[in-house]
């Protein structure tokens, strides 16, 4: 259960469906992120730049801008960058924690430049995020992003605490997903409006939460199902890291022996074998169905949100895309 | 050159010299810090709590409150906590980077709970810092603290880049100290006023910078001079980490062989021997004199700052204390 990032969401279709304001704002985000990671010398530019360019399709900035709407100000662009910088920082630190060699098929900062430099690079990206809000951010934006960051760190700590315990419950797993992934999606949906003094909309936050959870569940399915050429990492990477996710938790109910596996002694081949055994129980489809239910809940939430029909349609496309990319 | 933290500054004498407002505000800081590190479950409370209780004498919060003055609001207390939380986060991450077993004579979080948990604990403390400003912080406070945090991370990266290079220049060393230590002292002096809408005072920032630099220089002297029972760590720890500091840089000019040592192959006994050789050149006194000059510059800076006579006197005591503790 690394933070879900392996497979880019269908940002392209949303960009096409939106008016020209969205591609233009997203381009501003991209330019600004490139500036922010380039202005600290070559070594950092390489480390942060590779994280940046390997950075998927910017789902979180997209959510920030979509929720801010076509009238999104400069402040929403900064907020979008800030959220993405926090996401990047967590990816860099996650790879330190997991000693991960690859992310999206490329060497991680930890693997290329050492874990030491990766810790400091993550700190820099994180600091940069708040510096970005400091330029013209509203108090509420800082409160939202820092509170989400607290959640991410708590989720990470919970995952460390649970490591190598094959008996982790479904509730505990979902609690971790809520902290480690969904909190930043929630924040992305709330923060764009906050910069322009808009009121928080609990339905929009709910939307972010549900698609964040769905995103993580489906990412955890991919860790079991692969294929590696699509995910950019070996099957069973989570198992090797000692991270027990929902596919295994549900599989355990049908194949109780899976609750007894000694995760610490797994090797890569053993992990792939466990993945096959998990898949054989049918639990992957069960997790996919749960994720689809979360996406449906997300779409129901935006029905009640204060949005224009067009904004609602675009957010619906994002939600659908989360499932489609993984189907 | 770990961030200077080994020896507590003479906060007590300043507290005694100030009116009752200062001890009372400092007590609020302490209570709030304890709350912030206690409300995330037992494991974190242990890790963060030990960092908190080993946390020296809160020089940075003291500076925040002194520069905010007796009329300091609740916002200054929060800013003081935020600055200390960033400091604590960097200590926890530094100990991950250095794989340090001890800080102030106690096991580090990295040593006790593993480097993984220490990375996440540092992230949490860091997030908490900005969450604290998010409660009622002014935009300017966020800008100040995040910009200082960017500096800290850049200083850390510079130190990693310079590691094991015995030919590092004095200028490069001072640049690193400015980023890695002085930036947070500058921020501490500026941020207390910013929360109450006060204008930044460049003289006050200068004061913070100079005592921050002096603090780091003297800390680096202690790494060479010991004694370990006072510093809470072995002599030559910096050398073993590959960190070349001013005592060695100046000693090189008198004992050129010191520019040729192979830092990577040093063992603890070898590091102590190099410390003796550095001390024999007289460079430690030279560094102490430079630090005293910085403290004098700090005191000159506050002559020109917008302060009451009493505020100036108390800041002067802090500046003197930085030198006295190390003399």
DSSP line for A77-88: HHHHHHHHHHHH
Low-confidence ranges of chain B (pLDDT < 50): 4-9, 327
Angle, to 10 degrees, between the axis of helix B202-225 and the axis of helix B283-303?
A: 160
Q: At what angle do helices A309-324 and A202-225 cross, to 10 degrees?
A: 20
pLDDT tens track for A217-263: 999 999 999 888 888 788 999 999 899 999 999 999 999 999 999 99
CB neighbours of residue A244 within 10 Å: 29
- Say whether A116 and B127 touch across the interface (CB within 8 A): no
Burial of residue B325 (CB within 10 Å: 0-12, 13-18, 19+) is: middle
Sequence ranges of the domains in chain A: 11-324
Could you list the beta-strand ranges (E) of chain A: 102-103, 106-107
Q: List all residues of chain A from 273 to 292 with a beta carbon under 8 Å from chain B.
A: none
Q: How far apart are CA A45 and CA A51, in angstroms?
A: 10
Mutate which of B88, B120, B121, B149 to disrupt the A interface (most A C-beta within 10 Å)?
Answer: B120
Q: What is the predicted pLDDT for the residue at A5?
A: 43
CATH fold of B11-324 reads Farnesyl Diphosphate Synthase (1.10.600)
Question: Is the ipTM, as predicted for this complex, more than 0.90?
Answer: no
The residue in chain B having the minimum alpha-carbon distance to the alpha carbon of residue A126 is B150
Strand A102-103 and strand A106-107: the pairing is antiparallel
The whole-angstrom distance between B143's CA and the closest CA on chain A is: 4
Q: Who among B40, B93, B136 is closest to A123 (CB)? A: B93
Calculate mean pLDDT across residues A93-118.
Answer: 76
- Considering CB atoms only, which of A90, A134, A156 is closest to B143? A134
First to last CA, chain B: 18
pLDDT value, residue A242: 92
| pLDDT at residue B8, rounded to an integer | 45
Interface contact flag, A93 B123, Cβ < 8 Å: yes
**From CA B191, how far away is CA B177, in angstroms rounded?**
20
Residue of chain B with shortest Cα separation from A151: B124
- Confidence category of residue A40, pLDDT binned at 50, 70, 90: low
Query: Cβ of A96 and B119 within 8 Å?
Result: yes
Q: What is the pTM of this model?
A: 0.86
What is the residue whose two structure tokens read 């959870």? A213
CB-CB under 8 Å, A139 with B136: yes
Q: Is B132 exposed, middle or buried (0-12, 13-18, 19+ CB in 10 A)?
A: buried
Chain A closest CA to B118's CA: distance in Å?
A: 9
Two tokens at A319? 């939600």
Q: Compare CB distances from A157 to B90, B121, B150 and report the shortest one's residue.
A: B121
């Amino acid at each position: 259960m690394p933070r879900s990032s392996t497979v880019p969401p269908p940002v392209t279709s949303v960009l096409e469906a939106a008016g020209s304001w969205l591609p233009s704002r997203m381009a501003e985000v991209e330019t600004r992120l490139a500036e922010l990671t380039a202005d600290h010398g070559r070594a950092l530019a390489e480390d942060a730049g590779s994280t940046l360019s390997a950075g998927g399709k910017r789902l979180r900035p997209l959510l920030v801008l979509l929720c801010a709407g076509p009238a999104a100000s400069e402040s929403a662009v900064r907020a979008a960058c800030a959220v993405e910088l926090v996401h990047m920082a967590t990816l860099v630190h996650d790879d330190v924690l997991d000693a991960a060699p690859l992310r999206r098929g490329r060497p991680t900062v930890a693997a290329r430049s050492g874990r030491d430099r990766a810790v400091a690079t993550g700190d820099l990206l994180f600091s940069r995020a708040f510096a970005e809000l400091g330029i013209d951010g509203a108090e509420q934006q800082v409160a939202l992003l820092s509170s989400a960051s607290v959640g991410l760190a708590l989720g990470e700590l919970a995952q460390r605490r649970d490591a190598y315990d094959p008996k982790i419950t479904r509730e505990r797993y979902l609690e971790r997903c809520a902290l480690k992934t969904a909190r930043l999606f929630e924040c992305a949906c709330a923060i764009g409006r906050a910069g322009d003094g808009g009121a928080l909309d609990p339905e929009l936050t709910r939307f972010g939460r549900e698609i964040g959870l769905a995103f993580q569940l489906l990412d955890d399915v991919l860790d079991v199902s692969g294929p590696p050429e699509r995910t950019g990492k070996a099957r069973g990477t989570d198992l090797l890291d000692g991270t027990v996710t929902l596919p295994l938790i549900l599989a355990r109910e049908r194949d109780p022996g899976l609750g007894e596996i000694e995760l610490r002694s797994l090797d890569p081949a053993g992990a792939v074998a466990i993945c096959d055994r998990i898949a054989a129980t049918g639990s992957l489809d069960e997790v996919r169905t749960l994720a689809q239910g979360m996406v449906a809940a997300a779409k129901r939430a935006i029905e009640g949100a204060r949005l224009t029909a067009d904004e609602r349609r675009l957010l619906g496309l994002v939600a659908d895309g989360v499932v489609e990319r993984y189907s």
